[in-house]
Amino acid sequence: MFDQHYEVLLADTPKSKAIHYGIRYQVYCEEMGFENKADFPQEQEFDEYDDHAAHFIVRTKQDGQWVGAMRMVFKNDQLLPLEKHCALTTQISNNHLNRSIEISRLCLIKSIRKRGVDYINTLALVDEKKPAKEDNVIPFHPKKRLEQSIIWGLIRAGALHCEKHNIYNCYFFVSNALAKILYKHGFNLQQIGEPFQFNGERLPFEITISEVLANSLWHHDFKQHYIRHSELEALETSDLKKLSF
């Protein structure tokens, strides 16, 4: 389903990173109001973590519309966002034997997010027993949906990138409701701290990259790898040169 309709690109050029930051501005500033629009006059939402992060964007194969984004912040020698926002019960290490990243800024644009029985906004579920007050949610219905598959596609792309660069541990914080969905879909999460407030109540988790890649979700879909945007730009430039002769 995902491979038929979508593709993930690693935003490794100025042009593609601008697309990534633009998606984030659209979702976090314009649609959800999590961030102040006035802080980003160029309509590019970014912060201090982006200088040491890998950025992913996803688009439709049919018309090339950019529909979602995700970043992975590398631990390196600084604190991860998770470490700044909550008290952890485990220490996050980072050395050649135990490299770590944090997934954050996972989002889909408004036209993808729709109302349904189950609700999720970016990395935070709304209680399914309560009606959603804002149109800022992504459905996770019992039946597979294309909208849901975009989330899994981004997560798999990130895991493949980690495997390639010898990164072993993944961290993130989510709502309890989303954690239950991840458990339901076979992700073996380990809670590493108490709940804390960040646009609602969140819980911190860790999972190994090997466990992510072993998930049965990938058995029948998500076979394609991500593409580097620099490679796409090179192909487009080559095609233009051919047309010029």
Kindly report, residue by residue over 144-160, the tens digit of the pLDDT.
Answer: 466 778 999 999 999 99
Q: pLDDT per residue over 70-111, tens digit each?
A: 999 999 888 999 999 999 999 898 776 679 999 999 999 988
Residue 27 half-sphere exposure toward CB, CA atoms < 13 A:
27
Confidence of residue 117 (pLDDT cuts 50, 70, 90): very low
Is the pLDDT at 163 greater than 90, yes or no?
Answer: yes
The pLDDT value given to residue 97:
67
pLDDT at residue number 181: 86
| pLDDT, mean of residues 201-212 | 96
Q: How many helices and strands, by DSSP H and E, does the chain display?
A: 7, 12
Task: Retrieve residue 206's tokens.
Answer: 């860790």
Instruction: Provide the pLDDT for residue 242.
Output: 55
CB distance 226 to 160 below 8 Å = yes
CA distance 155 to 161: 10
pLDDT of residue 129: 37
Q: Are 146 and 138 in contact (CB under 8 A)?
A: no
Mean pLDDT, rounded, of the chain: 84
Q: Check which CATH number belongs to the domain holding 225 and give it.
A: 3.40.630.30
Q: For position 134, what pLDDT does the model report?
A: 41
Mean pLDDT for 136-151 is 56
Token pair for 97:
């034997």
Total domains present in the chain = 1
Q: Is 224 left (phi over 0), alpha (psi -120 to 50) or beta?
A: beta
**Mean pLDDT across 23-30:** 96
With CA atoms as reference, report the closest residue to 73 among 43, 97, 102, 48. Answer: 102
pLDDT band at 136 (very low <50, low <70, confident <90, very high): very low
- Count of CA atoms in the C-beta half-sphere (13 A) of 118: 15
Helix or strand run (H / E) with residue 56: strand 53-60
Residue 239 pLDDT:
55
Q: Which residues pair with 105 in a beta bridge?
A: none
Full residue range of the structural domain in which residue 100 is found: 2-244
pLDDT at residue 120 tops 50? no
Higher pLDDT, 76 or 131: 76
For residue 112, what pLDDT is reported?
86
Cα 245 to Cα 231: distance, rounded to the nearest angstrom:
22
Q: Are the beta carbons of 140 and 85 closer than 8 angstroms?
A: no
pLDDT in tens, 186-197: 999 999 999 999
More confident residue, 32 or 20: 20
pLDDT of residue 140: 37
Look at residue 37 and tell me whether its pLDDT is greater than 80: yes
pLDDT classification of 138: cutoffs 50, 70, 90: very low
